[in-house]
A = this chain, B = another copy of it.
């Protein structure tokens, strides 16, 4: 792969994340190409379908979160879990496009994002179990519930930005509900 091609690929992915964050899946390919400073043809050579582009963006986003989760697995269990959740909620704008992803035409579910999502889920699960063994989280909750709650907060925040205090307090309430 030529050096300029690789550079363009990166710039396209970055532009895609920005555009999708603002406009959801409605964000047009033209707009992405313009912001990345390349032609439309270039975008479609790297990602033959818009679905491919959306999926690649989501996968990248998830894998970055999973990497952060692994990096956090050294410090204090409860604090680590809280910090990861805060990041997920904070960068929520990107997740908004999952809405469209899961309901693409004809109900087909793309593989790559699902697997990336599962990797992230496993990383969250690891942090959660550690916090449970530490006694900071009650032992009868599973990753499913935590994931649902976090996804919910992330989506709600992405949809309509809330005051920082409100957002923080909502997170406190969830964590209080998770305490033994």
Contacts from A to B (Cβ < 8 Å): 22-24, 26, 96, 98-100, 102-103, 141-142, 144-145, 148-149, 151-157, 159-160, 162-163, 166-167, 169-170, 172-178
Contact = CB atoms under 8 A, between A and B. Distances in A.
Given A145-B166, A151-B160, A177-B177, 15 more contacts: A22-B103, A96-B99, A99-B159, A141-B173, A145-B170, A148-B162, A148-B170, A149-B152, A149-B153, A149-B156, A151-B159, A152-B154, A152-B156, A155-B156, A174-B177
28 contacts: A22-B103, A23-B103, A96-B99, A102-B159, A144-B162, A144-B163, A144-B166, A145-B169, A145-B170, A148-B156, A148-B157, A148-B162, A148-B167, A149-B170, A149-B173, A151-B152, A151-B160, A152-B153, A152-B154, A152-B155, A152-B156, A155-B156, A173-B174, A173-B177, A176-B176, A176-B177, A177-B177, A177-B178
Nearest to A169: B145
Copies of this chain, whole number:
2
Nearest to A102: B160
A132 to B, nearest CB: 14
Contacts of A160: 98, 102, 151
Given A145-B166, A148-B162, A169-B145, A24 B174 contact: no
Nearest to A152: B152
A99 to B, nearest CB: 5
A80 to B, nearest CB: 19
A162 to B, nearest CB: 6
B24 A99 contact: yes
Nearest to A96: B99
A92 to B, nearest CB: 10
Given A173-B145, A174-B177, A159 B98 contact: yes
